Amino acid sequence: MIYSLGSINADHFYRLSHLPTPGETLAVETCTRMLGGKGANQSIAAVRAGARVVHIGALGPDGNWMRDALADAGVDVTHVTEAGTASGHAIVMVDASGENTIVIHPGANRALNPSQIEDALRDARPGDWLLMQNETNCQGEAARIARSQGLQVAYSAAPFDVDTVRAVMPFVSLLILNAVEDAQLLQELSVVDVPIRLVTRGAKGAEWVDEKSGKAVLVPAFRVPAIDTTGAGDCFAGYAVAGLATGFAPAQALRRASAAAALQVQRPGASEAIPTAAEVDAFLNAHD
């Protein structure tokens, strides 16, 4: 079982010829609204990878359609509560090459409380996983509760904040960062005291670093034409943790996650673009 403490956002996508520069006004080519948020994306990715997922989060009174979308994707939404504030949302601008710029309003994602976390994790068992990122509050409380119950804790440290990472680190089993975040972390901290650091390096692939032994496993990326990179990191993280939770060795879990992300970036959108396990298997078979 994966318990996913994470954000749920309404993603407003605006596709443009290029990303605007300061002071520039551009007319969009298309605009759409989709379910997003790093937490929701990771939950859906983990479900499509074959894991059982319970999402822990909050929405405002305007968020029923997002709860329904999560449930329709196969995510358990029993512990998605309603807060007295608007749901989180994001403004996502995507250019012709697939690069993006994102602005986020946290909204209800920052309205969680420790009692909600305790209630959600009450039935968790040793060997289950807690998957988190940095778009909600209560990460520290959740990580502490999870570790006290014998869960593995995977923390996707984005958006990056060194103080938050430092507070959560004593409870983390698997720290997931991209190359920029990893460089920032190593610059701020002399010792990264976690068992495993998983670093995504874009076209260079992903690196699994065992901090105790110093050994590393590098899994190359698949070369594909990118249409939209939004949510690719979340897709990778959800697939990677689901792979580990369902018994794959690290190299195999990362290869599946890399294949899932390769499929994701060839489609527009975030959660709706996440591939199924069958699609990932077919892609891997074609690249053996």
Q: Is 11 left (phi over 0), alpha (psi -120 to 50) or beta?
A: beta
Give the pLDDT of residue 80.
Answer: 98
- Asked if the structure places residue 98 within a domain, the reply is no
- Asked if the structure places residue 150 within a domain, the reply is yes
The tally of domains found in the chain comes to: 1
Active site residue: 123, 234, 281, 288, which one?
A: 234
**pTM of the shown model:** 0.92
- Asked if the structure places residue 15 within a domain, the reply is no
Active site residue 119: no
Each of the 288 residues of the chain gets a pLDDT tens digit; together they read: 999 999 999 989 899 999 999 999 999 999 999 899 999 999 999 999 999 999 999 999 999 999 999 999 999 999 999 999 999 998 989 899 888 898 889 999 999 999 999 999 999 999 999 999 999 999 999 999 999 999 999 999 998 999 999 999 999 999 999 999 999 999 998 888 999 999 999 889 999 999 888 899 999 999 999 988 888 999 999 999 999 999 999 999 999 999 999 999 999 888 999 999 999 999 999 998
Give the pLDDT of residue 191.
Answer: 84
With 0-12 CB in 10 A as exposed, 13-18 as middle and 19+ as buried, what is 279? Answer: middle
- Asked if the structure places residue 97 within a domain, the reply is no
- Asked if the structure places residue 30 within a domain, the reply is no
Is 251 labeled as ligand-binding? no
Closest of 83, 82, 8 to residue 41, by C-alpha:
8
| Contact criterion met (CB below 8 Å) for 155 and 139 | yes
In one-letter notation, the amino acid at residue 270 is A
Instruction: Quote the strand ranges of 95-187, DSSP E.
Output: 100-105, 129-133, 152-156, 174-178
Closest of 202, 228, 53 to residue 132, by C-alpha:
53
Is 62 labeled as ligand-binding? no
Is 109 labeled as ligand-binding? no
Is 184 labeled as ligand-binding? no
Residue for token pair 């990580």: 143
Give the pLDDT of residue 279.
Answer: 98
Whole domain around residue 176: which residue ranges? Answer: 2-9+36-88+106-286
- Asked if the structure places residue 124 within a domain, the reply is yes
Is 285 labeled as ligand-binding? no
- Asked if the structure places residue 25 within a domain, the reply is no
From residue 192, alpha-carbon distances to 143, 161, 166, 198, 249 in Å are: 17, 14, 9, 12, 23
Give the pLDDT of residue 98.
Answer: 81
Closest of 176, 141, 14 to residue 89, by C-alpha:
14
Q: Which CATH number do you get for residue 182? A: 3.40.1190.20
Is 204 labeled as ligand-binding? yes
- Asked if the structure places residue 234 within a domain, the reply is yes
